[in-house]
Amino acid sequence: MFDTLSDKLDSVFKKLRGHGRLTEQHIKETMREIRLVLLEADVNFRVVKSFIAKVSERAASQEILKSLTPAQQVIKVVREELSRLMGEGEDNTLNLSVKPPVPIMLCGLQGAGKTTTCGKLALKLRREKRNPMLVPADVYRPAAIAQLKTLGRQLDVEVFDSQAGQDPVDICDQALRYAELNGFDTIILDTAGRLHVDTELMGELQRIVNKVQPQEILFVADAMTGQDAVTVAASFDEQLPLTGVILTKLDGDARGGAALSIREVTGKPIKLVGMGEKLDALEQFYPDRMAQRILGMGDVLSLIEKAQDAVNADDAAAMEQQLRKDGFTLETFLEQMQMVKKMGSMDSLLKMIPGAGKALKKAQGAQLPENEMKKIEAIIRSMTPRERLNHKILNGSRRLRIAKGSGTRVQDVNQLLKRFVEAQKMMKKMQKMGPKGLKGMFGQ
Ligand code: GDP
């Protein structure tokens, strides 16, 4: 996410740090560079202008110039202003605490990710113990209704039975009544999209809004389309009482322009972000965490949350019991790795750790952790249960057989066993230290 933007800002700050004492001229130069980097990232021209004006004013203060760590202070100002630009300090949670059924309407251009996001949102709400229903209100593209029905089946969420050719306003109205009678507390309206902003479509969306009075009207924007997304958002915002934005495809190589401009241009907060095609890839948007990621400072808080989501209490208890019974075996090693895998791709996790993203890039020739994980999994799965419990019985010929079975080389099997033995030693050490020692390890 935003790799080019991060790299370029990093070079600007590296130069700044090299100066020791900072003068007003240094600040001016830095601001000029940041301005260019932001424009290259496709951030709206006016947004860049006011951002640079604010940062310049704060950064050129005598307090910062005379401080012992001026470069750090400037970076801090940039971070704070970036967070503010993306809506830090504002409430950007979905406001659903009204009398059910609560209608949520998603709108946007075709291909932005509306239908997929409806599915993701249904899953998110269900995990929050709500009972959502999906409503296909795009009657012009029959495939859209079928797509939502498929998503509903996958998620086991009810999809309102709308038909192509029905009036979308009637569909939404009927769906609301159906939800009321059948105990659904939220309805998610998947509205039609066009390739361009279109007055007829806007009229239809306005009629839906008037009829069902959605509690949330969320504009779905494709982050990959940069400033185009922002222009379209502004035009939707003029004609509909939008309550927020969902930014999709942030997992791709979007340049950052949409994320950094859309809040300022529309005045509407980014509430959620799409981080992948999978249905669980919808996250709450945190401006400050995003600013940290852009500045290469990692995002430890999101990492911890992901860990909490991925490892449920039952799994953790089962693992603890197994650890007590058999000790740390190859089986537990594999299970632990699978838990980590549930948290997302290794590459994306590493980027959340401060400095790790950069370190990863520097490790030239090193194999990607993702491939490495697959290899390890294949090797352990090629072992017999007895071997997984006791790796010491693995002799040369078994190691060769396992390498063949898993499509790897004997060296790979040996390396894995070496790593496992190291992990086993580490586990023993940690068990001796207890929870207090662990805390110490993480410097708390
Ligand atoms: P709609 O026309 O607005 O309903 O768009 P769709 O929901 O059909 O999505 C268009 C394409 O974008 C599909 O291929 C989705 O899988 C993809 N997509 C949606 N959200 C995301 C996301 O957050 N990340 C990625 N990588 N792809 C996404």
Question: CATH number for the domain including 215?
Answer: 3.40.50.300
The answer to the question of residue 33 being in a domain is yes
The answer to the question of residue 10 being in a domain is yes
CATH number where 7 lies: 1.20.120.140
Q: How far is the CA of 221 from the centre of ligand 1 (A)?
A: 10
107 shares its domain with 191: yes
The answer to the question of residue 300 being in a domain is no
* Chain centre distance of CA 129: 21
Residue 3 CB partners (closer than 8 Å, separation 6+): 253
* ipTM entry: 0.98
Q: How far is the CA of 141 from the centre of ligand 1 (A)?
A: 15
Query: In one letter, which amino acid is 327?
Result: G
From the first residue on, what is the mean pLDDT of each consecutive set of 10 residues in the chain (444 residues)?
A: 87 87 90 94 92 92 82 89 93 92 95 94 95 93 88 94 86 95 96 81 94 96 89 92 95 84 93 93 92 78 68 70 79 78 68 62 54 85 91 92 93 90 77 52 37
Residue 414 CB partners (closer than 8 Å, separation 6+): 399
> Pairing between strand 282-284 and 216-222?
unpaired
Question: Which of 34, 52, 85 is the endpoint of a domain?
Answer: 85
Q: How far apart are CA 287 and CA 368, in angstroms?
A: 29
171 shares its domain with 153: yes
| Total domains in the fold of the chain | 3
Is 243 annotated in a binding site? The answer is no
Tell me if 116 CB under 6 Å of ligand 1: yes
Beta strands in 32-100 (DSSP E): none
Tell me if 120 CB under 6 Å of ligand 1: no
Q: How far is the CA of 290 from the centre of ligand 1 (A)?
A: 21
Instruction: Judge whether 112 and 215 are in contact, CB under 8 Å.
Output: no
Residue 208 CB partners (closer than 8 Å, separation 6+): 105, 137, 168, 169, 172, 189, 191, 214
Instruction: Judge whether 220 and 227 are in contact, CB under 8 Å.
Output: no
Q: Read out DSSP for 377-390?
A: HHHHHTS-HHHHH-
Long-range contacts of 427-435 (CB under 8 A, 24+ apart): 427/328, 428/328
pLDDT at 228: 87
Question: Which of 248, 274, 295 is the endpoint of a domain?
Answer: 295
The answer to the question of residue 92 being in a domain is no
Q: Which atom of ligand 1 is nearest to the CA of 190?
A: 4
The answer to the question of residue 29 being in a domain is yes
> Pairing between strand 186-191 and 102-107?
parallel
Instruction: Judge whether 273 and 120 are in contact, CB under 8 Å.
Output: no
The answer to the question of residue 80 being in a domain is yes
Q: Which atom of ligand 1 is nearest to the CA of 116?
A: 7
Is 240 annotated in a binding site? The answer is no
Is 191 annotated in a binding site? The answer is yes
| Assigned token pair, 444 | 């708390």
H or E element that contains 218: strand 216-222
281 shares its domain with 315: no
Q: How far is the CA of 54 from the centre of ligand 1 (A)?
A: 35
Residue 397 CB partners (closer than 8 Å, separation 6+): none
Tell me if 152 CB under 6 Å of ligand 1: no
Q: How far apart are CA 202 and CA 64, in angstroms?
A: 49
189 shares its domain with 316: no
The answer to the question of residue 90 being in a domain is no
Query: In one letter, which amino acid is 78?
Result: V
Q: Read out DSSP for 63-77?
A: HHHTSSSHHHHHHHH
309 shares its domain with 288: no
Tell me if 251 CB under 6 Å of ligand 1: yes
CATH number where 384 lies: 1.10.260.30
Closest among 105, 157, 96, 161 to 132, alpha carbons compared = 157
229 shares its domain with 310: no
Question: Which of 85, 112, 145 is the endpoint of a domain?
Answer: 85
Angle of CA points 297, 303, 309, to nearest 5°:
165
Q: Which domain holds residue 437?
A: 305-441
Q: How far is the CA of 113 from the centre of ligand 1 (A)?
A: 4
The answer to the question of residue 94 being in a domain is no
Q: How far is the CA of 283 from the centre of ligand 1 (A)?
A: 15
Tell me if 112 CB under 6 Å of ligand 1: yes
159 shares its domain with 13: no
343 shares its domain with 436: yes
140 shares its domain with 230: yes
Dihedral sign, CA of 257, 261, 266, 267?
positive
User: Could you write out the three-class secondary structure of 246-274?
Assistant: EEECCCCCCCCHHHHHHHHHHCCCEEEEE
Q: What is the pTM of this model?
A: 0.74
Is 108 annotated in a binding site? The answer is yes
Tell me if 241 CB under 6 Å of ligand 1: no
Q: How far apart are CA 406 and CA 217, in angstroms?
A: 50
Q: How far apart are CA 294 and CA 4, in angstroms?
A: 10
281 shares its domain with 321: no
Burial of 413 (0-12, 13-18, 19+ CB in 10 A): buried
Q: How far apart are CA 442 and CA 163, in angstroms?
A: 56
Q: In what order do the strands lie in the sheet with 132-137?
A: 132-137, 186-191, 102-107, 216-222, 244-248, 270-274, 282-284
Is 403 annotated in a binding site? The answer is no
8 shares its domain with 80: yes
Tell me if 119 CB under 6 Å of ligand 1: no
Angle of CA points 130, 104, 250, to nearest 5°:
90
Q: Which atom of ligand 1 is nearest to the CA of 275?
A: 23
Query: In one letter, which amino acid is 136?
Result: P
The SS3 assignment for 190 reads strand
112 shares its domain with 239: yes
Strand partners, 320: none
Tell me if 287 CB under 6 Å of ligand 1: no
Tell me if 277 CB under 6 Å of ligand 1: yes
Among protein residues, the one whose CA lies closest to atom 5 of ligand 1: 113
Strand partners, 381: none
Q: How many CB atoms lie within 10 A of CB 210?
A: 9
Q: How far apart are CA 28 and CA 51, in angstroms?
A: 14
